[in-house]
């Protein structure tokens, strides 16, 4: 499709909405010329099991086995010594194996903070999050129960970056703190813990970087100007001397929404957003674009001495730096590690762990790569599904050396959407399909209610927050709703635990407020 086939009004609308016209046209030309025809949907040939080697259970295991030679080689290359003041039996050599307890790994992981960076994938605006159709289709009974909350809160998210919007709802019904503020607070608390454990204050552990979009970057940057003086992080910044707001940023261009597949080929630009003529819809091209957008930042981090980099979606409150995971990746010398949790009824947007048709362990994204119907068919046979938690931990040496290959081969997926804006298709690259390109990585089977408190839809946020959980007539209060009710209860407890522990909050008069630095030091 050529640019001159679009009207001047459409092109002007695209530019006004920060849509990259040239890149959108390039994607359309590639699609209509058949370049993406070889991008086949992933097929779930098998479901990997937890074997303790590639797929490691971090929930039930209290000790872990690592190849002794590899572990010592890795420690030497990183300049790390095994802690000598651990309880007896914390680290045991037996033949070619090294046995370490969770406590030992946690201590080692904290020592790795200075060579670790934490990346936040901000994405675009919260379009799906507060989309009425999406929320209604999730569960009409729940939507009706939460209708008033939806009407009150949805304006706080509409056309705004999700990261600077409330991450939860307080028990008293007031908005909670934003996703980004909470993530910065958790990182500062971990810096405080590192300084207390080592007595070292000058090496800036846990660097922070992010990917924004052309649509959200200005709003996020403006929010950071007042974040530094926010009571959630102000005292921690002063106490640690860590300028958490000094953050490297890569900005992702927006693509236009494309015509629905029902309209056939050639695919074109969707020009009737919200029923308006010549109105386009800006969309991010998927978090998989991070490998292109953040390339220079990954290279800069390595030059600064960083060895490991987390990347995770902004809307997952469970995604914090886990020192046990960090230590396991470092000691095994693997290329990367990824969090997966057992799928629940609310996990409808994201990827699952599969063995694909090529015999490789991979992440099949529900929607773009594998249908929710197929996922449920697999579960009917009693096979537990590990659901991707949108958290990856990479060895930067490996990542940087393989960026060209990853960028060139990460699939472009097209998925049809039916939302308030209309019926259209979206072109996106899914970050976690990079798993299928690696050959030596770890999968961490984690506790969803600790590490995956995500909110893809606002209804999920209200479930996790526990709003109206005990009200008569609640659609969760029936025998048929028992699975969803159990999930909602566990989500609510998981959020409270996470807010108290990783985020250092306390519940006072129905609101979660920050613990003081003095309270944090006494924990």
Number of domains in the chain: 1
- Could you read off the pLDDT of 263-320 as tens digits, one per residue? 988 999 999 999 999 999 998 888 899 999 999 999 999 999 999 999 999 999 999 9
Q: In this structure, what DSSP letter does residue 411 have?
A: P
Supply the pLDDT for residue 14. Answer: 93
Supply the pLDDT for residue 214. Answer: 86
Q: Quick check: 31 and 417 in contact, CB under 8 A?
A: no
The edge-to-edge listing of strands for the beta sheet with 91-94 is: 63-67, 97-101, 91-94
CA 342 – CA 50 distance, rounded (Å)? 11
Q: Is the pLDDT of residue 504 over 50?
A: yes
Alpha helices per DSSP H over 266-305: 290-293, 295-303
Cα–Cα distances (Å) from 241 to 191, 201, 229, 237, in that order, read 10, 8, 14, 6
Cis check for the bond before 266: say yes or no (omega within 30 of 0): yes
Burial class from Cβ neighbours inside 10 Å (0-12, 13-18, 19+) for residue 24 reads buried
Residue for token pair 């015509």: 259
Supply the pLDDT for residue 480. Answer: 57
Does the residue 472 lie in any domain? yes
Close Cβ partners of 268 (under 8 Å, ≥ 6 residues apart): 1, 28, 258, 259
pLDDT, average across residues 52-73: 94
Q: Quick check: 458 and 484 in contact, CB under 8 A?
A: no
Supply the pLDDT for residue 311. Answer: 97
Q: Quick check: 392 and 310 in contact, CB under 8 A?
A: yes
Does the residue 514 lie in any domain? no
Angle, helix 21-32 to helix 8-16, in steps of 10 degrees? 120
| DSSP one-letter string for 431-481 | GGGGGGG-SS-EEEE--HHHH--B-SSHHHHHHHHTTTTT-TT-TTSSGGG
CA 136 – CA 327 distance, rounded (Å)? 42
pLDDT, average across residues 197-220: 89
State the sign of the Cα–Cα–Cα–Cα dihedral 276, 22, 313, 376.
Answer: positive
Bridge partners of 92, per DSSP, are: 99
Band (pLDDT 50/70/90 cuts) for residue 3 is low
CA 288 – CA 28 distance, rounded (Å)? 18
**Around Cβ 507, how many Cβ atoms within 10 Å?**
14
Provide Rg for the chain, Cα atoms.
Answer: 23
Q: Is the pLDDT of residue 106 over 60?
A: yes
Band (pLDDT 50/70/90 cuts) for residue 109 is very high
Close Cβ partners of 148 (under 8 Å, ≥ 6 residues apart): none
Does the residue 516 lie in any domain? no
Kindly state the percentage of the chain with pLDDT values over 90.
Answer: 57
Does the residue 256 lie in any domain? yes
Burial class from Cβ neighbours inside 10 Å (0-12, 13-18, 19+) for residue 55 reads middle
Helix (H, G, I), strand (E, B) or coil at 423: strand
Residue for token pair 């010329």: 33
Alpha helices per DSSP H over 112-169: 132-138, 140-145, 147-157
Does the residue 450 lie in any domain? yes
Does the residue 63 lie in any domain? yes
Helix (H, G, I), strand (E, B) or coil at 30: helix
CA 507 – CA 465 distance, rounded (Å)? 13
Structural domain of residue 170, as residue ranges? 3-509
The CATH number linked to 463 is 3.90.550.10
Does the residue 518 lie in any domain? no
Please write down the HEC assignment for all residues of 329-353. HHHHCCCEEEEEEECCCCCCCCEEE
Supply the pLDDT for residue 393. Answer: 98
Supply the pLDDT for residue 368. Answer: 62
Q: Is the pLDDT of residue 470 over 70?
A: no
Q: In this structure, what DSSP letter does residue 125 have?
A: B
| DSSP one-letter string for 192-248 | HHHHHHH---SS--SEEEEEEETTTHHHHHHHHHHHTT-TTTHHHHHHH---TT--E
Q: Is the pLDDT of residue 139 over 90?
A: no
Does the residue 300 lie in any domain? yes
**Around Cβ 90, how many Cβ atoms within 10 Å?**
18
Burial class from Cβ neighbours inside 10 Å (0-12, 13-18, 19+) for residue 86 reads middle
CA 183 – CA 317 distance, rounded (Å)? 8
Supply the pLDDT for residue 286. Answer: 84
pTM to 2 decimal places: 0.89
């Amino acid at each position: 499709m050529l640019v001159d086939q679009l009207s001047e009004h459409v092109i002007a609308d695209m530019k006004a909405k920060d849509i990259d016209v040239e890149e959108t046209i390039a994607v359309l030309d590639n699609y209509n010329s058949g370049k993406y025809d070889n991008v086949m949907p992933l097929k779930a040939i098998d479901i990997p099991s937890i074997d303790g080697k590639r797929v490691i259970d971090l929930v039930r295991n209290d000790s872990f086995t690592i190849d002794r030679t590899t572990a010592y080689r890795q420690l030497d290359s990183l300049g790390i010594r095994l802690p000598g003041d651990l309880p007896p039996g914390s680290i045991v050599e037996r033949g070619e194996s090294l046995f370490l307890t969770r406590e030992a790994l946690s201590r080692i992981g904290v020592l790795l903070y200075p060579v670790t960076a934490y990346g936040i994938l901000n994405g675009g605006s919260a379009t799906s999050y507060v989309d009425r159709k999406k929320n209604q289709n999730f569960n009409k009974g729940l939507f009706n129960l939460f209708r008033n909350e939806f009407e009150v809160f949805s304006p706080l998210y509409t056309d705004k970056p999700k990261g600077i919007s409330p991450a939860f709802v307080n028990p008293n019904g007031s908005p909670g703190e934003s996703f980004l503020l909470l993530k910065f607070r958790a990182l500062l608390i971990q810096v405080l813990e590192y300084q207390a454990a080592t007595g070292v204050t000058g090496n800036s552990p846990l660097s922070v970087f992010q990917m924004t979009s052309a649509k959200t970057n200005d709003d996020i940057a403006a929010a950071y100007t007042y974040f530094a003086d926010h009571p959630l992080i102000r005292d921690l910044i002063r106490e640690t001397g860590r300028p958490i707001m000094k953050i490297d940023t890569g900005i992702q261009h927006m693509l236009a929404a494309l015509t629905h597949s029902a309209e056939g080929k050639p695919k074109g630009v969707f020009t009737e957003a919200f029923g308006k003529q010549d109105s386009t819809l800006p969309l991010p091209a998927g978090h998989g674009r991070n490998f292109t957008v953040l390339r220079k930042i990954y290279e800069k981090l390595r030059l600064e001495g960083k060895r490991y980099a987390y990347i995770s979606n902004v809307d997952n409150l469970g995604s914090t730096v886990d020192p046990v995971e960090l230590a396991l990746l470092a000691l095994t010398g693997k290329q990367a590690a990824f969090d997966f949790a057992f799928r629940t009824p609310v996990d409808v947007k994201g990827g699952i762990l599969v063995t694909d048709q090529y015999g490789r362990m991979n992440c099949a994204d529900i929607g773009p790569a594998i249908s929710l119907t197929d996922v449920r068919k697999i579960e009917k046979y009693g096979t537990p599904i590990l659901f991707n938690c949108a958290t990856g931990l990479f060895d930067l040496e490996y990542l940087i050396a393989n960026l060209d290959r990853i960028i060139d081969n990460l699939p472009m997926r097209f998925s049809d959407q039916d939302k308030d804006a209309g019926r259209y298709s979206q072109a996106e690259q899914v970050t976690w399909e990079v798993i299928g390109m690696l050959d030596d990585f770890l999968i961490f089977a984690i506790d969803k209610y600790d590490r995956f408190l995500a909110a893809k839809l606002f209804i999920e946020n209200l479930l996790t927050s526990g709003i109206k959980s005990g009200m008569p007539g609640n659609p969760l209060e029936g025998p048929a709703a028992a699975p969803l009710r159990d999930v909602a209860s566990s989500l609510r407890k998981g959020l409270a635990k996470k807010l108290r522990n990783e985020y250092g909050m306390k519940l006072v008069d129905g609101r979660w407020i920050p613990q003081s630095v003095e309270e944090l030091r006494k924990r």
